[in-house]
Structure 1
Amino acid sequence: MTVSTEGTATVLPPGGPAAPARPIPATRRGIGSRGTLLLLEAAVAFAAALVLPLLARGFKLNPLDRIAQVSGLAAIQLRFALIGLVFIGAVALAVRLRGGRHFDLATRFASAALAGLASGFVAAGAVVALHGTPWPMFGLNGDSGRIVEWAQAVANGRPSGSPVYPPAPLHTLGHYAEWFRGGNTAYAFKDLQILGAAAFGPLVYLCWRMLLGPVRALAFGVAPAFALIDAYKPYSQTVLVVLVPVLVAMVVSLSRSGTWNWRPLLLKGAGFGALLGLMFLTYSGWFLWSAGGVLFAALLYFPWRDGRLGRLKGAAFLGASLAAFLVVAGRYLMVMLTEGQTTKDYNFRFDNFTDPAYYLMWRTDMPGKVGEWPLPGEYGGVGLFALVTFAGLGAAIWLGLRKPMVVTIAAMFISAWVMRMYIASHMYETQTVQLYTRTNNQLLYCGLLLCALVVHLVSLRMAERRTQPAADTVPARTTPGTGFPGREGAVIGALCALLLLLGTVSSSMADRYMPAKENTYRILPWVSHTITERDGSCPKYAPGGTCSKDGDQSWLGFIR
């Protein structure tokens, strides 16, 4: 299969890692079109994302007991590993059957399944954390309470409490509650926290599939995104991790638009605009941090050299995108440009009192016992992880300076950095923070992506060299029965490594929300177990069998 990457016509196998170009066998063309196969990948990814949360519903444990929490995580991990190994085993079996004819198909489905299973792991952790209580994380307190209240108002045809808050989550919650929870937006929010976390992996995987083959999308797009997965308000982080590949794909398409026919040009432009509009309605903050970098990339890769007609087509592509975006999100954009200018954030958080140049880990509004923060590093106070990400950024630009993927991501990183420092530099004068610390997530994600793309670019160069051996070079050893230089072995090895990586990361992110009465995000599900249910009873595992209307309010002492 031919997959276009970073604006170059590179021929890659769907499996991904360091594979030489090869023609598509005639027997493979009958399997289905690329669109059909992508739909099948999507079905596999979303189905896999639901398996672990459904299995976790049958666990018999007390979610407030730490031993039970550890046992629950181990039970999820066991099921994750076994199901993942079944898919990897199918890939290995495909190598041996019918001359490897279905190897690429098995690789597609295995990659999609691992992406779904990984986020399903985090969702299953949320099922365990909220076992025995109908309330969402944090009940009706804090952001959770406001979202539930505003969604209830929207569902009843009234304006929400905040005109600048993204409307898509409120409408989604309100309609879901009407359809499935009898209008109870509080109980419905628990469902959407779990389902939102489960959808994280499939959505980011499918967006990166616009640019990369299956294993590469899993390794270089999905894996970095799992540093940000969130089960409390999953929609905000999901928009970030899908916005980056969508914007990159849009810049790549813009760079080629000068040679396209008019109909696909306008349809694709409108499709990008509508998709960006939906994301803007879901969470708009990332658009602000990214705007400068994306504008730079668009100007850089506009089809200036394709003649007058090419420039006209480039302008038409952008025009169709803008028109579709305004149709979908124009009303909310006007609200943000008017009322959003007068909305001020005066709430100083933990990160607002730390070094603004440190972004590598966000400890949330309730950071726990951190002591000195950021932790002192070995090189001028900077740690090894920071040095690796900075070196990765430089190496990615060096190796991929001509590639829209690399340049666009680097530009988004720089744009977020500049906006962060601009807002922080005015913080004393204005006594507002304007959520500038949320750029942590974009900077971290873009930095991890650039480090991953170094591996991607190096593997591409290695593959190109293997396909052009010198006349006196001994042919590379091949995997028996395939005729390709270790490609199948590389794919299977990468999938095994990713299974372990994603399983470990997902376990850590699921453990982040296991209930505990402490100054971390674990307080959120703890409060959910202390709130009186609608029928007047206490949740099944309420501490000491006691509960109250608002739940345990000790969290107020954790907020400075």
Structure 2
Amino acid sequence: MTHLAPEEVGEAGAPAPRPAPTAEGKNRLSSSWGPAWLSRRWVLPLAEAVVSLVAALGFTLLSTHISVNPLIRVGQVSGLAKLQQYVAVLGLPLLAVLLYTAHRGSLLRHQVAKRLVCAALAGLATGVLAGGVVVALRGTPWGLGGQEGDPSALIAMANSFLHGESMSGIYPPLFPGLMAVWAKIRYDVPGGTGFALKDFQIFFTAIAGPMTYLAWRLLLRPFWALLIAVPSALLCMDPIRPYSHGSMLVLLPLLAYCLREMRRSAERPLRRSLLRGAVLGLVFGVVFLWYSGWYVWAAPGVFVLALFLFPWRAGRTAVKRAGVFVGVTLLTAGVVGAPLIYQMARLGSQTPDRYAFLAVYVDPAYVLGWVSDRSGKLEYQTWPAAGEMAGQSGFALLLLFAVGLGVGLALRNIMVLTAAATLAGAWLARFWFASHMAHDKAVQLYPRTTWIIMYCLMILAVLGMMAVVNRGSGWAERTLRPSGAAPAARVVPRRVVAQLAAGMVCAIALFATMGASWSVNRYMPQSDNMTMGIDAWRAHTIKKADGTCPRYAPNKKNCADIVTNDWRQNPDDGELWCGGIGPLNWKTVCGRKAPASELKKEEQEQKAKQ
């Protein structure tokens, strides 16, 4: 399973037959182009992985040299501009090489350059996002969120691990467990788990682009893998909890790859099926311990799809080998994920999600936008803005049109089937939980299906464009070739295709740098607790390990003390918590009175305004 997809991929995601050598290029790397070992199967995939990770982490490290005061808006703008300057200096030469090889030299050299440039761009995209977090947190050892909200829960869980306590309820233990290990190794001081969280927020945000790109490269050519990886990573990644969405981004291509391997298991020796199943099971188990939520939404559709794709009628041998592959995969994943599975079976019904916020109050059929519980001045009466056609925007109509192309022209493609099945299962689960919310007084995280549904729509849209390109080029070759022309002659020269693809890669790169800057800007420190910038602001208001305030603390005489509490489950009062709503409106929105603490907080805020 370690081999990335070849340069050409067939209709169902399978490798296409290698073309015969032509005058425009050879199938093998010649000894005059480079060392003979470069033609080995594993070298270029490894080079893609290394280049992508180095680009992401190298850019993040470079961002530590940006010297601005992140609490001043002018300093934030200068930091954003410096990030763009850095990425331009690094990215423009890469694009120049890509364009040069597309217009000059052998096509084989261009293919190699395209693979490495696409890998580097995937790394730079999320490297800019991680670099922005570095700028926003400059001068403080604390991560986004400080000791409030979800970061406080992660810190408390890591503290529990340090103090020898067992798993924290049904929450995936791997990320807070690694936080505890890193805090012990790297810091070993009060507050060390909070400092470890900052390191992890930056590191795992940076590698999200490379990991998503490499996961899709198991199935797609470089351009199409980049076209999915960059927009989805920039849209979905939340540096406060980078492990959550990062697991979703790699889970879907891994599921498609697993289903493809199940269908092919009949063609392979039993021993190879056992090995591939064990490796995939190990990967799925680790991802499950990393963040398990996406399995809940993906499981219904993927389970039904697997039943349809299983080779029931291919003969006893095929059924046996496919069954062995599936069984080994599930068994290995179950063994690795057993601790969390046990906790979920034991405590799942005791931990309902009762936290409501803006995404809970809006039309549940809206899945093309997301707001967190720090939604600024947005309200459910005015967001989302109604579009031109039955409330749907032009972007929504174009996206759905591309989705229709994917489903209509490439339904046999295993990636299309996987994304469509996941979308259908998540869609049904979303409305099942939402429809029971008023009765059960539990949200059960159903707004998070917005992310996986958007991701599936983006996948289907890209695969729809890929199907149009493949079908269109095939039609042109069949119908426009002059009579009597050699079968190997091409109507559309490969050189033209390479040049067009290079231009589109440049467009993706421009989108990536613009989109990354937009995403980074949201996390720049702001004191308004209804904006996403409050998370970086809080990081600058907590004392360092030596008891002093961070360098750019807004009030250096009044910084918060370090909290080293262990994790404890909050008591459940059986009622919805109405986040983002004024206490006086809790009755009309959530059907309950606001707690006394919220009423008191409202009174204090009103007095402060007066």
Name the TM-score, length of structure 1 as normaliser.
0.92
Q: Are 1:521 and 2:521 an aligned pair?
A: no
Contact 2:144 2:535 in 1 (8 A): yes
| Counterpart position of 1:447 | 457
Q: Percent identity among equivalent residues?
A: 35
Q: Aligned runs of 1:18-417 on 2, under 5 Å?
A: 24-25=27-28, 27=30, 30-95=37-102, 99-160=106-167, 162-182=168-188, 184-371=192-379, 372-417=382-427
CA deviations over 1:8-62 (Å, ceiling 9, x no partner): 5453899xxxxxx987236287524333321221111111001222122111211
Distance 1:270 1:32 in 2: 29
Q: 1:272 touches 1:321 (CA, 8 Å); kept in 2?
A: yes
Letter in 1 for 2:474: E
The 1:326–1:490 alpha-carbon spacing in structure 2 relative to 1, beyond 3 Å, is same
Give the distance between the partners of 1:185 and 1:26, measured in 2 at CA. Answer: 49
- Distance across 2 between alignment mates of 1:287 and 1:432: 20
Offset at 1:476? Answer: 6.0
One-letter code of the match for 1:527?
R
Aligned-pair CA distance for 1:334: 2.0
Quote the Cα distance in structure 2 between the aligned partners of 1:296 and 1:7. Answer: 19
Q: 1:420 aligns with which of 430, 433, 437?
A: 430
Tell me: CA distance 1:460–1:31, structure 2 relative to 1, closer, same or farther (3 Å): same
Match of 1:11 among 9, 13, 16: 16
- Tell whether 2:472 aligns with 1:462: yes
Secondary structure in structure 1 of the residue aligned to 2:82: helix
For the structure 1 residues 350 and 369, does the alpha-carbon distance in structure 2 shift closer, same or farther, using more than 3 Å as the test? Answer: same
Shift of 1:490: 2.0
Alignment-mate amino acid for residue 340 of structure 2: Y
Is residue 516 of structure 2 the alignment partner of residue 506 of structure 1?
yes
Change (3 A) 1:172 1:26: same
| 2:560 corresponds to which of 538, 549, 559 | 549
Q: In 2, distance between residues paired with 1:557 and 1:321?
A: 41
Residues 310 and 81 of structure 1, relative CA distance in 2, 3 Å threshold:
same
CA displacement at 1:549 relative to structure 2: 1.6
Q: Work out the CA distance in 2 between the residues paired with 1:244 and 1:261.
A: 26
In the alignment, the residues of structure 2 paired with residue 355 and residue 319 of structure 1 have an alpha-carbon distance, to the nearest angstrom, of 41
Shift of 1:558: 5.4
Letter in structure 2 aligned against 1:240? M
SS, match of residue 345 in structure 1? coil
Q: Which has the larger displacement, 228-237 or 51-60?
A: 51-60
Give the RMSD, CA atoms, in angstroms. 2.4
How far, CA to CA, are the matches of 2:303 and 2:46 in structure 1? Answer: 31
Show the counterpart of 2:575: none
Post-superposition shift, 1:524? 0.4
Aligned partners of 1:118, 1:13: CA distance in 2, in Å? 32
Give the whole-Å Cα distance in 2 for the aligned partners of 1:255 and 1:326: 22
Cα deviation code 1:118-164 (max 9, x no counterpart)? 0000000000000111111111111111111211221332124x321
Contact 1:301 1:404 in 2 (8 A): no
Tell me the CA shift for residue 484 of structure 1.
Answer: 2.1
Q: Is the CA contact 1:221–1:449 (under 8 Å) kept in the aligned structure 2?
A: no
In the TM superposition, what is the alpha-carbon distance from 1:225 to its structure 2 partner?
A: 3.2
Tell me if structure 2 keeps the 8 A contact 1:229–1:237. yes
2:318 alignment partner AA: G
1:178–1:232 distance in 2 versus 1, CA, 3 Å: same
Q: How far apart in 1 are the matches of 2:317 and 2:147? A: 57
**Over alpha carbons, which structure has the higher Rg?**
2
Contact 2:80 2:521 in 1 (8 A): yes
Q: Is the 8 A contact 2:29 2:39 kept in 1?
A: no
Measured after TM superposition, the shift of residue 528 of structure 1 is 0.9
Q: For residue 72 of structure 1, report the CA deviation from its aligned partner.
A: 0.9
Q: 1:325 to 1:79 in 2, by over 3 A?
A: same
| Distance in 1 separating the partners of 2:229 and 2:507 | 15
Specify the code of the residue in structure 1 equivalent to 2:537.
Answer: W
Deviation at 1:265, TM superposition (A): 1.1
Aligned residues: 545
> 1:35 is aligned with what amino acid?
W
How far apart, CA to CA, are the structure 2 residues paired with 1:13 and 1:541? 59
Distance 1:433 1:9 in 2: 41
Q: Which residue is equivalent to 2:544?
A: 533
Mapped partners of 1:294, 1:22: distance in 2: 41
Give the alignment's TM-score, normalised by structure 2.
Answer: 0.85
Report the secondary structure of 2:373's partner residue: coil
Give the Cα separation in 2 of the matches to 1:495 and 1:450: 19
Q: Offset at 1:266?
A: 1.2
Q: Which residue of 1 aligns with 2:573?
A: none
